[in-house]
Amino acid sequence: MSTTAPSDDIGTRLRLVRQIYGLTQRELARRAGVTNGAISLIEQNRVSPSISSLKKILDGIPLSLADFFTHNFAASDQVFFAAAELTEIAFGETVSMRMVGGNLKERALQMLQETYQPGADTGEEMLRHQGEECGIIVSGSLTVTVGAQEKTLQPGDAYYFRSDIPHRFRNPGPASCQLISASSPPSF
Amino acid sequence: MSTTAPSDDIGTRLRLVRQIYGLTQRELARRAGVTNGAISLIEQNRVSPSISSLKKILDGIPLSLADFFTHNFAASDQVFFAAAELTEIAFGETVSMRMVGGNLKERALQMLQETYQPGADTGEEMLRHQGEECGIIVSGSLTVTVGAQEKTLQPGDAYYFRSDIPHRFRNPGPASCQLISASSPPSF
DNA sequence: TCCCGGCGTTTAGAATACTTAACAATTTTG
DNA sequence: CAAAATTGTTAAGTATTCTAAACGCCGGGA
């Protein structure tokens, strides 16, 4: 019953959200049906808006009151990640991953660039966890086992399954295999 | 980025929360440092409170703005569950569970009364999932394996582990085993 | 350079929220 | 049962928010 409380500095919060969405005070005011002056005063914390006003304004973005108070907008400002910025994760000698946005908080999604060396295998005791996952082979080939099904995927091929179905990845070929995967929620 | 938006009927919402917490308008007003009249007007939707007022009022409960807008208070009104109301879940012939609050939405916690018949076994391919779990043996005995550790628990004994550590439950004895377990988040 | 358009800010007045103090209805208590 | 305390609601006045219209600032184009 206890969500981490965001700062009650509504003004800064609103200004941040507005700028993230690339709106000017006047443009947002027009969409929301309020005056630009009101938004200015609120953003300076010179007034404490009524719920009805705040709701009108957020509707112009659009964003729900719940999302406005729940999410930590300050923490999620990085949008683009250079290849060198991806977080490296290694599993033994044969499997390595590069994660997008490893520094972000409260992610709902995880995207990885994975590399399987020849012979790499996640092991016979199948992987199982909550959520769903999906991937596309970029180069090389990969044998994917999901429940009773098994297939060797070539570049361009893809998979999608509920992660609670036992699954396993192996690289049978002589070349290393690269793929891009996404899963939700993140498992690390 | 999109949470399910609660009704924007702030008045009804506030009245519901206040009553759930067993407070009168005057008592809440006293704690919050506002007048009972203000709370009355807000609850009737005759005014749309300012954020500052609403925050003061919620502080008197106490409840954060984020929680106020996020949670679905109307849905979580059942507090007591008769034995007959527990939801039955069966796994094969040897394991059965009875869940508390199976009808509730947005649970953060799952509590089960589990029964393992003699010889019951969750299997060699160990269980793994997100969260944490905990249990206490009520009757009979149960062999619990968690990672490299294994122990046969007697009535009164308990366990607690991160659910991502592979685990397994078996009933080695001649009698059936009952236990009470809790896990978070719920896995079904 | 000057003008134009857009930006956020400010001010005076209209609209709304909040307080104070009373009221009626119900429950508690002696 | 009657007195007293407690509950939610309401009316009038005060405090606050919001609107309308102006201000000063900055950058781009004749």
Residue at which a domain ends, from B75, B107, B131:
B75
Residue type, A110: Q
Query: Where does the pLDDT of residue B6 fall: very low under 50, low under 70, confident under 90, or very high at 90 and above?
Result: very low
pLDDT at B108: 58
- Tell whether B116 and B142 lie within a shared domain: yes
**Domain-embedded: residue A134:** yes
User: Tell me: the pLDDT tens digits for B10-69?
Assistant: 999 999 889 878 789 999 999 999 999 999 999 999 999 999 999 999 999 888 998 899
Measured CA to CA, the distance from residue A7 to residue A18 in angstroms comes to 17
- Tell whether B71 and B93 lie within a shared domain: no
| Comparison of pLDDT for B158 and B108, the residue scoring more | B158
**Domain-embedded: residue B88:** yes
Q: Is the pLDDT of residue A168 over 80?
A: yes
| Comparison of pLDDT for A27 and A20, the residue scoring more | A27
For every residue of A71-131, which 3-state class applies, written as one string? Answer: CCHHHCCCCCCCHHHCEEEEECCCEEEEECCCCCCCCCCEEEEEEECCCCECCCCCECCCC
Q: Which residues contact B106 (CB under 8 A, 6 or more apart)?
A: B71, B72, B75, B76
> Nearest-CA residue of chain B relative to A163?
B129
**Domain-embedded: residue A2:** no
- Average of per-residue pLDDT across A38-43: 96
**Domain-embedded: residue B2:** no
**Domain-embedded: residue B25:** yes
Q: Is the pLDDT of residue A125 over 90?
A: no
- Tell whether B48 and B67 lie within a shared domain: yes
- Tell whether A122 and A154 lie within a shared domain: yes
- Tell whether A179 and A105 lie within a shared domain: yes
Residue at which a domain ends, from A47, A75, A103:
A75
pLDDT at B94: 83
- Tell whether B91 and B54 lie within a shared domain: no
Measured CA to CA, the distance from residue B6 to residue B10 in angstroms comes to 9
pLDDT at A83: 61
**Domain-embedded: residue A32:** yes
- Tell whether A114 and A175 lie within a shared domain: yes
**A152 - beta bridge partners?**
A143
Provide the number of structural domains found in chain A. Answer: 2
- Average of per-residue pLDDT across A26-51: 95
Share of chain A above pLDDT 70, in %: 76
Residue at which a domain ends, from B26, B48, B75:
B75
Indicate yes or no: strand C within 7 A of the C-beta of A43: yes
Domain of B19, CATH number, reads 1.10.260.40
- As given in the structure block, the two tokens for residue A187 are 């498992």
Give pairs for B33-41: CB < 8 Å, separation 24+: B33/B60, B39/B14
Indicate yes or no: strand C within 7 A of the C-beta of A96: no
Residue B95, domain extent: 83-184
Q: How far is the CA of A74 from the C1' of D27 (A)?
A: 29
- Tell whether B171 and B87 lie within a shared domain: yes
- Tell whether B88 and B114 lie within a shared domain: yes
pLDDT at A4: 35
- Tell whether A179 and A101 lie within a shared domain: yes
- Average of per-residue pLDDT across B132-145: 82
Share of chain B above pLDDT 90, in %: 29
Average pLDDT, chain B: 79
Measured CA to CA, the distance from residue B97 to residue B89 in angstroms comes to 5
Q: Which of A47, A49, A130 comes nearest B130 by C-beta?
A: A130
**Domain-embedded: residue A17:** yes
Q: Which of A15, A187, A54, A68 is nearest to B1 (CA)?
A: A68
- Average of per-residue pLDDT across A37-46: 95
Most confident of A156-170, B26-40, B98-112: B26-40
Domain of A90, CATH number, reads 2.60.120.10
Which residue ranges have CB below 7 A from strand D? A 33-38, 41-42, 46-50, 52-54; B 24-27, 36-37, 40-41, 43-44, 46, 50, 52
- Average of per-residue pLDDT across A101-129: 75
- Tell whether A160 and A122 lie within a shared domain: yes
- Tell whether B117 and B44 lie within a shared domain: no
**Domain-embedded: residue A3:** no
Interface of A with B in 107-136 (CB under 8 A): 125-130
